[in-house]
Amino acid sequence: MEHIPENTHIHRDDEASKIGMWLFIFTEMLLFGGLFIVYSIYRYLHPVAFELAADELDVAAGTINTVILLISSMTIAMSVSAIQKGDRKKTLMFLGATLFLALMFLVNKYFEWGSKISHGLYPGSDSLHELGHGDTLFFGLYYFMTGLHALHIIIGVVLIATVMYRVYKSRVREDKYALLENTGLYWHLVDLIWIFLFPLFYLVT
Amino acid sequence: MDNNGKPHIVPYKNHIAVLAVLLILTALSVAVTSIELGPLTVTVALLLATAKALVVLIYFMHLKFDNIIYSIMVAFVMFSIISIIVITFLDYLFR
């Protein structure tokens, strides 16, 4: 790239930062990919227990969270379109909607986990111990994988809030929005992981 | 790099159309898995999930509009994960 504009004082490479974000996303895909292998092998070894245990999960709660995450993916994609158009107000509006949906996801998850725990279904509980090996594995994986995913949602909430502040302060703007774009990529990754978690834990019974 | 100067701006209505496709695929996977299909259920659910993942990658994550190198990298990573799953299962099925 020999055409460097004369007004460039500080070195900035948005393309490189995006490639860096993608490389991070690949490590995340491999992390969850490994967990999916653990899940599928244990499902193969304990087919009946996994089917019965998956029946315990609330399909409605899972579906609502799927819809919430899909909509939030759209709103953050829209916020990227908005900043490219230079529309700061709409960018903030779409980011705010994404933040709200992320919190809704966590509230839903709280009630879902809460009802499972009140039924005595949590790692190390007596009722899980009585149900046997397969159920223990299923719920162990359920809490670990949805928990790790929820941790990613919480990190996403912090990231989106940071971007909102920077957009508000015009530090992220029409000609400098790599942070927003990368936050968008991260948020889509969180959506991507849930797209596979949802059928494997809630639907395949 | 063709996307260095002017970024490709996706119109709002395109995002809404992508969401509609994703919601239809979700409704379809919930409906299909509620029917008793036996071992086919897992296959159908995973195929629909893969279709949804591809829609998110291509449209929301801008692979369609970005440099081809991103798509090549994503394809390579997906190929690696699928290979590891297949090899692990070959081990478990034939040991």
**Residue A6, in any domain of the structure:** no
pLDDT at B1: 38
- Say what the pLDDT of residue B5 is: 59
Does A7 fall in a domain? no
From the list B26, B46, B61, the residue facing A188 with the nearest CB is: B61
Given this model, what pLDDT does residue A2 score?
54
pLDDT of residue A4: 56
Averaged pLDDT for residues A119-131: 88
Domain total of chain A: 1
Q: Find the domain containing A84 and state its range.
A: 16-203
Looking at residue A7, its pLDDT comes to 59
The phi-psi region of residue A121 (left if phi > 0; otherwise alpha if psi is between -120 and 50; otherwise beta) is beta
Confidence of residue B14 (pLDDT cuts 50, 70, 90): very high
Kindly state whether residue A53 falls inside one of the protein's structural domains: yes
Residue type for position A9? H
What is the chain B residue with the closest CA to A77?
B60
pLDDT above 90 for A9: no
Question: What's the confidence (pLDDT) of residue A8?
Answer: 56
What per-residue string of b and e applies to A13-29 under the rule 16 or more CB within 10 Å gives b?
ebeeebeebbeebbeeb
DSSP A203: I
Is the pLDDT at A10 greater than 90? The verdict is no
- Least confidently predicted of A2-11, A97-106, B70-79: A2-11
Rounded CA gap, A34 and A38, in Å? 6
- In chain A, the percentage of residues whose pLDDT exceeds 90 is 85
ipTM of this complex prediction, to 2 decimal places: 0.91
pLDDT for the residue numbered A5: 57
Mean pLDDT rounded to a whole number for chain A: 93
Nearest to B60 among A59, A77, A85 (CB): A77
State the smallest CA–CA distance between residue A134 and chain B in angstroms.
17
* CATH number for A137: 1.20.120.80
Mean pLDDT of A100-121: 96
User: Which residues partner with A176 through β-bridges?
Assistant: A173
| CB-defined contacts A:B, below 8 A | 104
- Interface mutation target, options A25, A72, A74, chain B, most CBs of B under 10 Å: A74
- In this predicted structure, what is the pLDDT of residue A6? 58
pLDDT in tens, A81-100: 999 999 999 999 999 999 99
Q: Is residue A4 part of a domain?
A: no
Mean pLDDT of A180-193: 97
pLDDT of residue B2: 43
Please give the Cα distance from B47 to B44 (Å, whole number). Answer: 5
In this predicted model, what pLDDT tens digit does every residue of A30-39 receive, in sequence order?
Answer: 999 999 999 9
